[in-house]
Every structure is written in structure tokens, then in C-alpha cells.
A and B are shown apart, each in its own frame.
Chain A
Amino acid sequence: MSILVNEKTRLIVQGITGHVGTLETRLMLNSGTEIVAGVTPKKGGKIIEGVPVYDTVQEVLDEMKADTSIIFVPPAHAAEAIFEAAEAGIKLVVCITEGIPVKDMVKVLPYIKDRDVRLIGPNCPGITTPGGARVGIMPDFIFSKGNVGVVSRSGTLTYEVVDTLSKAGIGQSTCVGIGGDPLIGTSFIDALGMFEDDPDTSSIVMIGEIGGTAEQEAAEYIKEYVSKPVVSYIVGISAPQGKTMGHAGAIISGGVGSAREKIRVLEGAGVSVATSPEDIVEKEKIL
């Protein structure tokens, strides 16, 4: 099983003709992901990495079946690309683009909610189901197939954690990067719920960071609804107040969003909190 993406996923790449879109299309194809079409306005008719390119998402769906879209469109047009995919009937949209204005996301979120569309990101590394499909930019070589579900707000830190898990012989069911922006389509809670329902996932690793209260909300949810063991890792203990630390969402303001507060609440909910990727492995081993 796994969550969100698997070997049956039929993917569209929006922004396939850009530098990153083309490169990542090649890498996703190499990982065995089934990419049925690409979309770039006014580039319809081209072939990129053997994938046919269309002008609009609707034209793709008029001709063939697709269920998932990944977006590599530049920030100024990325929100519209999400609207376009949702309007055409795509039910899972993964937005990799970093730097989308938050005001655009304020409009996107209610729109996709009304249409029952799941958005992952923006500003995220995507989703990988080892042995199933890779929809995103995570490096293929770090993964191994197994039963740990991984959900994270970050990119490269997730790679390090997954790599450490794989090297210790602990495989993953699915790894979801939910993104580092203040407004994102899928929360920790959404991902935790999906992992809880997934028979192939036996435990969950949740990687959080400073800023906002998503980890605290997740702690409440875990206490009530998650029966599977959760190991969490929260970064930013040493971060100063009032400064944005790389991710637009990573800022401690007025004491809200500090790592210590998050760790305190998670431990209170019975979550095992690790202090390093190696410590995640140790904690997973004794589950």
C-alpha cells in the first residue's frame, strides 16, 4: 500500500520545459514513475524526455487518464498552476515551487478544499514511495522499502534522516515533505491520519522545526487518534527569536513556535522525541 503515490500513479508535470522541470522529469522516469504528460503554456506539441507536452492540463485530461500533478512553475505563476490542475479534476497536486506569495496561497487553499483536492507543499521536496513512485525531487538512492512513514517540513534534513534510517536497515513505506512555507496544503495531522490508516506503515517519523504551531496541533491529534508509535525530531533549539531561518515559516515570534515548546508538548502527548538522525534510528529500533 503506502500513502498518496504508488506504482499506479499517473503523473503530469506542470512546468516540464523549464530547466528544473526537465531534469527532474528525467530523474523521476529513472525511478520508475509513470509520467503521462507535461504541461507548459504555448509549448504544446513538444516532446521532453519522451513525454508529450500540452498547453493546458485540461487538454491532457481530454485525451488520457492522469490522477496526480507535480508543479515546477515559477513563483509568480505557480498558484495559478495549482488552480488549473484542481479545476481540470486532478485530485493530488504536489507543488515544488519555492517563493509563492502567501496572498496567493490564501486564495488557493479554500478553492482546493471545496474541490476535495489534496495539495502537498508548496516549497516542498514531494513524495516518495520506495518501490512505488517518486513524485518530487528527493534523491532516489537514500530510500529503501519498509514500514516507517516519514513526514517532514524540510528537504535536505529529511534526506539525511531517511539516509540514516536506510543505512541502519530501516526502510520506509512513504516519505512526504509537506513544505516550509507558512501556508501549506497538507499538515502534519493530514499525513499522520493517512499513515495511521495505511496497513504498510507500522511506525511514523515526524520531522518538525521552529515556527507556527503545526507540531503542537499534531501532538494533540496523536494523543487522540494515532495508535502507531511516533518518533519526532524538532530542529531550531538554538535559533534566535524574531529572525526568519531560511524557510518563510521558520520564525519564533513572541515566544510562539520555539523548539523547546514543541518538544515539551510532543513529549506530553507520548511522542518519543529524538535529538539527532542517529537518535531517531535508536528510538525506532526499540519500538
Chain B
Amino acid sequence: MLDVSILATGIVAPGLPDWSTARAVLRGDERYSAAAPLQVPPPLQLAPNERRRATLPTRLALAAASEATQALPELTNQLHTVFASADGDMHVVDQLCRAIYQQHTLPSPTVFQNSVHNAPAGYWSIAEQCQQPSSSLAAGDGSFAAGLLEAALQCHCTNQAVLLVAVDVPAPELLHPHRPLYCAFACAFLLSANPTAIHALAHLTLSLCPIERPPLSFTRLSNAALETMRLGNPAARSLPLFAALATEQMTSIQLPYWPDLLLDVQVQF
């Protein structure tokens, strides 16, 4: 079991442009509009050159991270970070393959440098001038759980605040049938190992639970449109945690991790 506190959070998704909107929607105070376009603020933290090169996952990650760290700007360049993404940027893979096999040309160096899974982490570290350790990881649809677990482990082992960012975006046309993600989604959680942290949004206790027998019992969302989003993007598997934060009700959440293992999250306030 691992204990960790959430100090702040951030979210960017269609119809959920920030945490205050998401909180109102998840509390039922505002209607959710699934048709709302994705609004991604420009990554003003980056120098113009890097801003131009930053791809959608990077811009989403930076926007969510920025919301989670805005209350503690003096802390930002001291943060350890964990970036979770199931599939990185599938547009980049598509562009590289098209250059070679469709256009019979060399890939663009700029596109290639964005092909690494840790590109969003790299841009974030440059934007915030943060030289602290950074991990980028994947575990398919369990990527958010894997990221939360790694971030909590880093909190536990270093006693430092850790920023967790999760992001995934839909695939381009050719890859989409093979990996049909529904919409773009990014979220961020600023975590602390200090269980008595004042101003904490919530305290979490994480534990791994073997799944002996399917059917699986993951925490779902009552709103059908948000449940579609949850199932349609690995980073959006975080939505039940946002729902718990919004309603401030003590609860227990089951997040998908591996087909034979789920991550149980006890949420306390």
C-alpha cells in the first residue's frame, strides 16, 4: 500500500478545458457538452522555436501540467515528473512512415525528434528549466494506473513532490482502425508524500488487486458521454478520480492496469 496526497490537478479534454469546468460538470452543476471542441492553450512557456515544433500531445501535456503547478510556481523546477502515455504521438509515426513509403524521401528531422515517447517530458523540462528526474512510461489502457503508481513510488522513495502527467491523442487515418481512440485527453496531478499536507485536495491509498475472475469491476461514470470518453482514451481512465475529487466523497476507485491486475485507489478528504 502506498499513501500519497493530491495537491493540485489539471485537465484538458473536449468540453473540459480546465479543472474548474470539469469539477462543475462532474458534480452535476453544469451540463456536459460532448460536442464542445478541444481547446488547447498555446504553450507560452516555450520559446517560439520550440513552440512551433511542439505537437498536440506536448501542447496538451504542458497545458494540463501548467494548471496543476500554477499555485506553486516556485516549486515547479524542483519537481520530479512522470509522463504516462499509452501510444505517444501516433501522428509522428504516421508522418515518418509516409515520408519513407509514400513520398520516398527522408523523414523531417523535426518530426523525427518528436518521435520519442518522452518528447512531452523533454519540452516540459525545457519550458520549466527543471533538471529533476523524469520518467515516461506506457502500459496500454492501464497507462494512467502505471503512471500513478510510479509517481507514488517516487514520492515514497524521495519524499519530494512529483508531477504526474497523462496524455493520449487519437491516431491518424491509417492507424485509427487499429487503435480507435475517441478523443484527445490530458490530465496532471501534483502529488506529495506528506499525508498531512494542508491544502491537499485528497489523500490516496494505492494497492494492487489481482483480478481472479473476469468480468472486471472498474469504476465507471454515470454520465454516458463522459463514460464514452473514459473508455475512449487511456489518459481518460483518470476520470473516476476527478469525479471523486469533484464530489469530495470518501470512495474507492478501481482503475484498469493489466488484464489480471487492477489498481485500487482509496480516496479520502
- Interaction A to B: no
Which B residues are within 8 Å of any A CB, using their own CB?
Answer: none
